[in-house]
Structure 1
Protein backbone atom coordinates (compact mmCIF):
# COMPACT_ATOMS: atom_id res chain seq x y z
CA UNK A 1 0.00 0.00 0.00
CA UNK A 2 -0.25 2.57 -1.62
CA UNK A 3 -0.82 1.96 -5.30
CA UNK A 4 -0.12 5.10 -7.34
CA UNK A 5 -1.42 5.64 -10.86
CA UNK A 6 0.07 8.56 -12.75
CA UNK A 7 -1.55 9.76 -15.97
CA UNK A 8 -0.11 12.39 -18.29
CA UNK A 9 0.07 13.42 -21.92
CA UNK A 10 2.49 11.48 -24.09
CA UNK A 11 5.77 13.19 -24.91
CA UNK A 12 7.65 13.53 -21.62
CA UNK A 13 11.10 11.96 -21.40
CA UNK A 14 11.89 8.81 -19.47
CA UNK A 15 13.99 10.85 -17.03
CA UNK A 16 11.04 13.22 -16.42
CA UNK A 17 8.69 10.30 -15.73
CA UNK A 18 11.24 8.64 -13.44
CA UNK A 19 11.71 11.86 -11.49
CA UNK A 20 7.94 12.34 -11.15
CA UNK A 21 7.58 8.85 -9.67
CA UNK A 22 10.49 9.44 -7.29
CA UNK A 23 9.13 12.77 -6.09
CA UNK A 24 5.69 11.31 -5.43
CA UNK A 25 7.24 8.36 -3.59
CA UNK A 26 9.35 10.73 -1.47
CA UNK A 27 6.23 12.71 -0.52
CA UNK A 28 4.43 9.50 0.44
CA UNK A 29 7.30 8.33 2.66
CA UNK A 30 7.31 11.76 4.30
CA UNK A 31 3.60 11.18 5.00
CA UNK A 32 4.42 7.92 6.78
CA UNK A 33 4.32 5.27 4.04
CA UNK A 34 7.00 2.62 4.80
CA UNK A 35 10.27 2.55 2.87
CA UNK A 36 10.26 0.08 -0.06
CA UNK A 37 6.45 0.29 -0.29
CA UNK A 38 6.63 1.56 -3.86
CA UNK A 39 4.05 0.47 -6.43
CA UNK A 40 3.54 3.01 -9.22
CA UNK A 41 2.12 2.84 -12.73
CA UNK A 42 2.68 5.58 -15.29
CA UNK A 43 0.20 5.85 -18.15
CA UNK A 44 0.86 8.13 -21.09
CA UNK A 45 -2.00 9.28 -23.29
CA UNK A 46 -2.25 10.82 -26.73
CA UNK A 47 -4.02 14.18 -26.82
CA UNK A 48 -7.13 12.55 -28.24
CA UNK A 49 -7.36 10.29 -25.14
CA UNK A 50 -6.63 12.86 -22.42
CA UNK A 51 -9.51 15.17 -21.63
CA UNK A 52 -9.72 17.66 -18.79
CA UNK A 53 -11.41 20.91 -17.86
CA UNK A 54 -8.91 23.74 -18.33
CA UNK A 55 -10.72 26.01 -15.84
CA UNK A 56 -12.73 23.90 -13.37
CA UNK A 57 -12.96 25.62 -9.95
CA UNK A 58 -11.09 28.60 -11.41
CA UNK A 59 -7.82 26.65 -11.70
CA UNK A 60 -6.02 27.28 -15.01
CA UNK A 61 -4.74 23.92 -16.30
CA UNK A 62 -2.46 23.26 -19.26
CA UNK A 63 -1.52 20.22 -21.33
CA UNK A 64 1.16 19.52 -18.70
CA UNK A 65 -1.60 18.32 -16.37
CA UNK A 66 -0.65 15.26 -14.37
CA UNK A 67 -3.38 13.17 -12.74
CA UNK A 68 -2.28 11.18 -9.70
CA UNK A 69 -4.55 8.58 -8.13
CA UNK A 70 -3.38 7.09 -4.85
CA UNK A 71 -5.11 4.04 -3.43
CA UNK A 72 -4.11 3.52 0.19
CA UNK A 73 -5.34 2.41 3.59
CA UNK A 74 -8.08 4.44 5.23
CA UNK A 75 -7.55 6.23 8.50
CA UNK A 76 -5.63 9.43 7.83
CA UNK A 77 -6.92 12.80 9.00
CA UNK A 78 -7.97 15.65 6.73
CA UNK A 79 -4.89 17.59 7.80
CA UNK A 80 -2.62 14.67 6.82
CA UNK A 81 -4.28 14.49 3.41
CA UNK A 82 -3.95 18.24 2.84
CA UNK A 83 -0.28 18.07 3.82
CA UNK A 84 0.26 15.24 1.33
CA UNK A 85 -1.43 17.21 -1.51
CA UNK A 86 0.77 20.21 -0.78
CA UNK A 87 3.93 18.14 -0.44
CA UNK A 88 3.37 16.37 -3.78
CA UNK A 89 2.56 19.63 -5.60
CA UNK A 90 5.57 21.42 -4.09
CA UNK A 91 7.95 18.56 -4.87
CA UNK A 92 6.76 18.33 -8.48
CA UNK A 93 6.99 22.11 -8.93
CA UNK A 94 10.50 22.28 -7.48
CA UNK A 95 11.72 18.98 -8.95
CA UNK A 96 10.43 18.95 -12.54
CA UNK A 97 8.99 22.43 -12.96
CA UNK A 98 5.35 21.44 -13.21
CA UNK A 99 2.93 24.19 -12.20
CA UNK A 100 0.97 23.38 -9.04
CA UNK A 101 -2.20 24.15 -11.01
CA UNK A 102 -1.36 21.14 -13.18
CA UNK A 103 -1.19 18.66 -10.28
CA UNK A 104 -4.51 16.83 -9.85
CA UNK A 105 -4.61 14.29 -6.99
CA UNK A 106 -7.32 11.77 -6.08
CA UNK A 107 -7.13 9.61 -2.96
CA UNK A 108 -8.96 6.29 -2.81
CA UNK A 109 -9.12 4.86 0.71
CA UNK A 110 -9.64 1.15 1.28
CA UNK A 111 -9.69 -1.22 4.23
CA UNK A 112 -6.45 -3.06 4.95
CA UNK A 113 -7.94 -6.46 4.06
CA UNK A 114 -8.38 -5.27 0.45
CA UNK A 115 -4.72 -5.86 -0.40
CA UNK A 116 -2.78 -8.89 -1.53
CA UNK A 117 0.92 -8.28 -2.16
CA UNK A 118 1.51 -11.76 -3.54
CA UNK A 119 1.17 -15.47 -2.79
CA UNK A 120 -2.62 -15.17 -2.85
CA UNK A 121 -2.58 -13.90 0.74
CA UNK A 122 -4.16 -10.90 2.44
CA UNK A 123 -1.03 -9.79 4.29
CA UNK A 124 -2.74 -6.95 6.20
CA UNK A 125 -5.91 -8.87 7.15
CA UNK A 126 -6.31 -9.73 10.79
Structure 2
Protein backbone atom coordinates (compact mmCIF):
# COMPACT_ATOMS: atom_id res chain seq x y z
CA UNK A 1 0.00 0.00 0.00
CA UNK A 2 2.76 2.47 -0.65
CA UNK A 3 2.06 6.03 -1.73
CA UNK A 4 5.00 7.35 -3.73
CA UNK A 5 5.76 11.06 -4.10
CA UNK A 6 8.42 12.18 -6.54
CA UNK A 7 9.61 15.76 -6.11
CA UNK A 8 11.66 17.25 -8.93
CA UNK A 9 12.56 20.55 -10.51
CA UNK A 10 10.21 21.83 -13.18
CA UNK A 11 11.06 20.96 -16.74
CA UNK A 12 11.67 17.21 -16.61
CA UNK A 13 10.19 15.20 -19.44
CA UNK A 14 7.30 12.78 -19.09
CA UNK A 15 9.75 10.01 -19.99
CA UNK A 16 12.10 11.01 -17.15
CA UNK A 17 9.25 11.01 -14.62
CA UNK A 18 7.89 7.68 -15.86
CA UNK A 19 11.34 6.06 -15.76
CA UNK A 20 11.89 7.11 -12.15
CA UNK A 21 8.41 6.03 -11.04
CA UNK A 22 8.67 2.74 -12.93
CA UNK A 23 11.97 1.96 -11.17
CA UNK A 24 10.40 2.71 -7.79
CA UNK A 25 7.36 0.57 -8.57
CA UNK A 26 9.46 -2.38 -9.77
CA UNK A 27 11.44 -2.23 -6.52
CA UNK A 28 8.25 -2.18 -4.45
CA UNK A 29 6.71 -5.06 -6.40
CA UNK A 30 9.91 -7.08 -5.93
CA UNK A 31 9.44 -6.58 -2.17
CA UNK A 32 5.93 -8.04 -2.24
CA UNK A 33 3.70 -5.07 -3.09
CA UNK A 34 0.94 -6.10 -5.53
CA UNK A 35 1.56 -5.01 -9.15
CA UNK A 36 -1.77 -3.16 -9.23
CA UNK A 37 -1.04 -1.24 -6.00
CA UNK A 38 0.30 1.79 -7.85
CA UNK A 39 -0.41 5.21 -6.37
CA UNK A 40 2.16 7.78 -7.45
CA UNK A 41 2.25 11.53 -7.61
CA UNK A 42 4.77 13.99 -9.00
CA UNK A 43 5.47 17.39 -7.52
CA UNK A 44 7.28 19.70 -9.91
CA UNK A 45 8.74 22.79 -8.29
CA UNK A 46 10.63 25.87 -9.40
CA UNK A 47 14.14 26.25 -8.02
CA UNK A 48 12.99 28.77 -5.41
CA UNK A 49 10.51 26.21 -4.10
CA UNK A 50 12.83 23.18 -4.04
CA UNK A 51 15.89 23.96 -1.98
CA UNK A 52 18.55 21.50 -0.90
CA UNK A 53 22.18 21.42 0.12
CA UNK A 54 24.42 20.46 -2.80
CA UNK A 55 26.69 18.18 -0.75
CA UNK A 56 25.03 17.05 2.50
CA UNK A 57 26.07 14.77 4.10
CA UNK A 58 28.99 13.32 2.12
CA UNK A 59 28.22 13.24 -1.60
CA UNK A 60 30.97 12.31 -4.04
CA UNK A 61 29.58 14.85 -6.52
CA UNK A 62 27.31 17.83 -5.89
CA UNK A 63 23.57 17.75 -6.38
CA UNK A 64 22.36 19.39 -9.58
CA UNK A 65 19.01 20.34 -11.07
CA UNK A 66 18.58 16.58 -11.73
CA UNK A 67 18.19 15.94 -7.99
CA UNK A 68 15.10 13.85 -7.19
CA UNK A 69 13.45 13.30 -3.83
CA UNK A 70 11.45 10.09 -3.53
CA UNK A 71 9.16 9.70 -0.54
CA UNK A 72 7.57 6.33 0.07
CA UNK A 73 4.73 6.20 2.57
CA UNK A 74 4.05 2.60 3.56
CA UNK A 75 2.51 0.58 6.32
CA UNK A 76 4.63 -0.32 9.32
CA UNK A 77 6.19 -3.72 9.53
CA UNK A 78 8.88 -3.90 6.88
CA UNK A 79 12.29 -4.75 8.21
CA UNK A 80 15.44 -2.72 7.67
CA UNK A 81 16.64 -5.56 5.43
CA UNK A 82 13.57 -5.20 3.18
CA UNK A 83 13.95 -1.41 3.02
CA UNK A 84 17.63 -1.77 2.10
CA UNK A 85 16.65 -4.12 -0.74
CA UNK A 86 13.98 -1.71 -1.98
CA UNK A 87 16.50 1.11 -1.85
CA UNK A 88 19.15 -0.89 -3.74
CA UNK A 89 16.60 -1.88 -6.39
CA UNK A 90 15.46 1.74 -6.81
CA UNK A 91 19.01 3.00 -7.24
CA UNK A 92 19.85 0.23 -9.70
CA UNK A 93 16.69 0.91 -11.71
CA UNK A 94 17.15 4.67 -11.83
CA UNK A 95 20.81 4.33 -12.82
CA UNK A 96 19.64 2.21 -15.78
CA UNK A 97 16.70 4.39 -16.89
CA UNK A 98 16.66 7.36 -16.96
CA UNK A 99 20.41 6.99 -16.35
CA UNK A 100 20.42 9.17 -13.26
CA UNK A 101 23.54 9.43 -11.10
CA UNK A 102 22.71 7.75 -7.74
CA UNK A 103 24.19 10.79 -5.97
CA UNK A 104 21.21 12.74 -7.33
CA UNK A 105 18.65 10.51 -5.58
CA UNK A 106 17.33 10.87 -2.05
CA UNK A 107 14.83 8.31 -0.76
CA UNK A 108 12.79 8.71 2.41
CA UNK A 109 10.67 5.90 3.85
CA UNK A 110 7.77 7.04 6.01
CA UNK A 111 5.65 4.53 7.91
CA UNK A 112 2.07 4.68 9.07
CA UNK A 113 -0.18 2.24 10.90
CA UNK A 114 -2.45 -0.03 8.84
CA UNK A 115 -5.60 1.62 10.18
CA UNK A 116 -4.58 4.90 8.54
CA UNK A 117 -5.44 3.68 5.02
CA UNK A 118 -8.82 3.93 3.32
CA UNK A 119 -8.63 3.39 -0.44
CA UNK A 120 -12.27 4.17 -1.17
CA UNK A 121 -15.68 4.53 0.38
CA UNK A 122 -14.31 5.02 3.88
CA UNK A 123 -13.45 1.32 4.13
CA UNK A 124 -10.41 0.31 6.12
CA UNK A 125 -9.54 -3.07 4.64
CA UNK A 126 -6.71 -3.91 7.01
CA UNK A 127 -8.26 -3.42 10.46
* TM-score, with length taken from structure 1: 0.95
Q: CA deviation at 1:76?
A: 1.1
Who is 2:95 aligned against? 93
Give the structure with the higher percent helix: 1
Matches within 5 A, 1:54-69: 54-59=54-59, 60-69=62-71
Aligned residue for 1:56, secondary structure, equals coil
CA RMSD of aligned residues (A): 0.9
CA deviations over 1:34-74 (Å, ceiling 9, x no partner)? 12000000011111111001111111322211000000011
Who is 1:123 aligned against? 125
Q: Distance in 1 between matches of 2:52 and 2:66?
A: 11
Q: Distance in 1 between matches of 2:14 and 2:33?
A: 25
Query: Where has structure 1 moved over 2 Å in runs of 4 or more?
Result: none
- Unaligned stretches of 5+ residues in structure 1: none
Who is 1:47 aligned against? 47
- Unaligned stretches of 5+ residues in structure 2: none
* TM-score, with length taken from structure 2: 0.94
Aligned residue for 1:72, secondary structure, equals strand
Q: Distance in 2 between matches of 1:104 and 1:67?
A: 5
